[in-house]
Amino acid sequence: MDKPKVLFLCTGNSARSQMAEAFLREYASDRFEVFSAGLEPKDIHPLAIQVMKEKGISMEGQYSKPLSIFMGKANFDWLITVCDNADKKCPFFPGMGSRLHWPFEDPAKFVGPEQEKLEKFRSIRDAIEIKIKEWLDEFDLLHSVFD
């Protein structure tokens, strides 16, 4: 049986969606195929990579991608937008299943000293991890009821 596919989407695919992809892969790669993309992709932010390493999670092999590489070419069971801009601007496309919106602040837009930027990335990383774990718990509960 094919694993359900999840696509995390944000504007730049440089931090939030990349961290969400890495967490879901870490916690449930045996159960889901996980992808991320951006409406206006930029390189992965170095602080996103750093704070994920602090959790023992490598983002090796991940790279920033445009949404267009998936449109009309892949079917997703879930499209999860992780920023308000992507939620507003993301078109509906064939093959898109359930759509969820998890709004997270963009840590890359934070202005301040380097240590405070790092703290902002950690804060957003931790919020994303909590949301991923909650979603997995909800998914498991729902499927245990209907199985």
Which 8-state DSSP code applies to residue 57?
-
The token pair at 88 is 């507003």
User: What is the spatial distance between Cα 98 and Cα 96, in angstroms, rounded to a whole number?
Assistant: 7
Each residue's pLDDT tens digit, 58-96: 999 999 999 999 887 888 999 999 999 888 887 666 667
What pairing do the DSSP bridges indicate for beta strands 33-38 and 96-101? Answer: unpaired
| Side-chain half-sphere CA neighbours of 40 within 13 A | 5
> Which pLDDT belongs to residue 140?
77
Which residues are annotated as catalytic?
Answer: 10, 83, 90
Model confidence over 42-54: pLDDT tens digits?
A: 999 999 999 999 9
Could you tell me the domains of the chain?
Answer: 5-146 (3.40.50.2300)
pLDDT at 101: 94
**Does the predicted TM-score (pTM) go above 0.75?**
yes
pLDDT tens-digit readout, 14-62 = 999 999 999 999 999 999 999 999 999 999 999 999 999 999 999 999 9
In 3-state terms, what secondary structure has residue 79? strand
